[in-house]
Amino acid sequence: MSPLNDGPTWPSAQFPDQTQLDVYEEGLRIMAFGGKVPTGTTPKDVVYTRNKTTLYRYRSKNRRHATPILLVYALINRPYIFDLRPESSFIKFLIDQGYDVFLIDWGTPGWEDRNMDFDDYVGEHLPLCVERMLRASGTDDYTLFGYCMGGTMAAMYAALHPENLRNLVCLTAPFEFSDTGLYGIWLDDRHFDAQQLADSLGLIPADLIDAGNMMLRPVVNYVGSNVTMWDRLLGGRDMTSFLALNKWVKDGVAFPGAAFAQWITQFYQQNLLIKGEITIQGEKVDLSRISVPLLNIAGEQDHIATPQQVEPLNEIVASSDKSFLLLPGGHVAMLVGSGAQKGLWPKILEWLDKRSD
């Protein structure tokens, strides 16, 4: 027998059928363009606008609490993370519990907004939104709820404007920047000039910011996310929640250059907030002026705002009623992950219910 005929007999090649090809095509489309599912669907009305900033009020037919809640999110992501899907909407949860809920959407900055900084957002836009919210809600006090950078901004505002403020809730918001892990290495002022970057670009692209955040945990964020997607697709599992979150992650917002330079230089590089040396429209932000009830929450696995960056707020404020919660979860999973409805949400509700009437 010829040597060419010796050895094992190989099975014929197995080609995927049309159904499998459709699954592969869908996976590649998701990787390239993100998800296509409705998000932010809870009915709402526009209360006020200023430049790109919009104040929304969510419709509720079952208001049982006099104290409204004003939600503040970061400048660099879309705030519909609060209302991702009906089954994972923190806003819908609050409305169903009888709260009057408002949300600030900072909008999408244009080239003309490149010089906007925290003087504009915290010193001008936020006070006007608070004024319109109180007028619309018909109350004299409110709860300020900030998430991520929005929590930092909310605490800054609370220190500057304690009037009418009844409660402050901060979720995964950084306050202490002396040890920021990889961020601290990358943003070291010896080799990173935030002002030069801002002057050069005007608006810092969302993709650039997202790439930096993703590189904090590259295996999880790049490989792990795709593994999860293919596992769900090939297993025929429901993709709705994955697609909604995937859509939000890819739906970033550019960072106005002036605010970016201020955030990197004064917060990350110089750690001025915790020192009381940040100024908004000429007035120093002294976090020790905060005296209202405070709920400050960190995630054990949060690598964006680590627990050691979050907790120091409780050490500075003058509030006699203050709580720090350290819960399982990461920066985003804390609010919209599978365990949020049994973990974070009931704890926030229990705290609010005792302090909202």
Classify burial at 176, counting beta carbons within 10 Å of its beta carbon; exposed 0-12, middle 13-18, buried 19 or more. Answer: buried
What DSSP line would sit under 242-266, residue for residue? HHHHHHHHH---PEEHHHHHHIIII
Q: How far is C-alpha 198 from the geometric centre of its chain's CA atoms? A: 22
User: pTM for this one?
Assistant: 0.90
Q: Quote the tokens at residue 349.
A: 């509700």
What stretches in the chain show pLDDT beneath 70? 1-21, 23-24, 27, 31-35, 221-222
The residue extents of the domains of the chain are: 36-353
The runs of H, that is alpha helices, within the chain are 18-33, 90-96, 118-120, 126-137, 149-160, 182-186, 194-201, 206-214, 218, 225-234, 240-250, 257-262, 272-275, 307-310, 312-316, 333-336, 344-353
Q: What's the CA gap between 354 and 89, in Å, rounded?
A: 22
Q: What's the CA gap between 73 and 104, in Å, rounded?
A: 7
Q: How many CB atoms lie within 10 A of CB 163?
A: 8
Q: What is the pLDDT of residue 42?
A: 97
Q: What is the pLDDT of residue 50?
A: 97
Q: What's the CA gap between 92 and 31, in Å, rounded?
A: 29
Fold topology of 36-353 = Rossmann fold (3.40.50)
Look at residues 149, 121, 137, 161 and name the one whose alpha carbon lies nearest to residue 69.
137
The runs of H, that is alpha helices, within 263-343 are 272-275, 307-310, 312-316, 333-336
Q: How many CB atoms lie within 10 A of CB 23?
A: 15
Q: Quote the tokens at residue 42.
A: 């809870």
Q: What is the pLDDT of residue 113?
A: 98
Q: What is the pLDDT of residue 27?
A: 67
The runs of H, that is alpha helices, within 111-234 are 118-120, 126-137, 149-160, 182-186, 194-201, 206-214, 218, 225-234
Q: What is the pLDDT of residue 205?
A: 96
Q: What is the pLDDT of residue 150?
A: 98
DSSP 75: S
Classify burial at 24, counting beta carbons within 10 Å of its beta carbon; exposed 0-12, middle 13-18, buried 19 or more. Answer: middle
CB of 64 within 8 A of CB of 98? yes
Q: Which residues are identified as catalytic?
A: 148, 302, 331
Which amino acid does the sequence have at 168? L
Q: How many CB atoms lie within 10 A of CB 167?
A: 23
Q: What is the pLDDT of residue 46?
A: 98
User: What sign does the CA torsion over 81, 84, 90, 92 have?
Assistant: positive
CB of 133 within 8 A of CB of 102? yes
